[in-house]
Amino acid sequence: MAVAEIKIELKKGVADPEGQNTKKALELLGFEGLRSVRSMKCFQVDIGLEGDEALKACQDMCRRLLANPVIQSYSVELK
Amino acid sequence: MAVAEIKIELKKGVADPEGQNTKKALELLGFEGLRSVRSMKCFQVDIGLEGDEALKACQDMCRRLLANPVIQSYSVELK
């Protein structure tokens, strides 16, 4: 049975204050040369389905609950 | 230059209320047969370093800022 990894990130152009503040904090700690830090939310779902069926169910979960389609995009990877 | 994907998840045995509640909400929406849902935090860091150096810097970031070693474990993947 598949374990799906669902990644939900902010669309390009949407402000990511958590990422920006993490970048600032890392720079204050002495990490240099960082170009960007983006924060994301991930879910690991043990879904009890296989292949295409699992993929479709996960995309459905994102559309209906996990992601806000106005500001977030999602990707699903089966493992 | 490498883009690192840092994944921070709760250690086994640590309660994951966000994951549990997400599972309940998905079940209420009609998704059946879910065995588990685990929530994770991810960061995508454009780090301006290469290879081993990038990997070490990311692990250092996790130890010093991003992860709480008491309850969280981290993994770093370079892309």
Expressed as residue numbers, the domain containing A22 is: 3-78
Residue B79: per-residue pLDDT = 87
d(CA B38, CA B32): 16
Mind listing the pLDDT tens digit for each residue in A9-35? 999 999 999 999 999 999 999 999 999
- The CA distance from B79 to A38, in Å, is 14
Express as a percent the part of chain B with pLDDT over 90. Answer: 91
User: Alpha-carbon distance B23 to B26, whole Å?
Assistant: 5
What CA–CA distance (Å, rounded) separates B50 from B62?
Answer: 18
**Pairing status of strand A36-46 against strand B36-46:** antiparallel
Total tally of structural domains belonging to chain A: 1
**pLDDT tens digit sequence for B38-53:** 999 999 999 988 889 9
- Chain B residues within an 8 Å CB radius of A57: 31
Q: What is the CATH number of the domain that holds A48?
A: 3.30.1280.10
A53 pLDDT band, cuts 50/70/90, is very high
pLDDT tier at B72, thresholds 50, 70, 90:
very high
- Cα(A63)–Cα(A69) distance, rounded to whole angstroms? 7
Chain B residues with CB inside 8 Å of A77's CB? none
pLDDT of residue A58: 96
Closest of B44, B23, B34, B39 to residue B72, by C-alpha = B39
ipTM of the complex: 0.89
Chain B interface with A: residues with Cβ < 8 Å: 1, 7, 9, 19, 22, 25-26, 29, 31, 33-49, 57, 60-61, 64-66
Torsion of CA B26, B16, A36, A26, to 10 degrees: 170
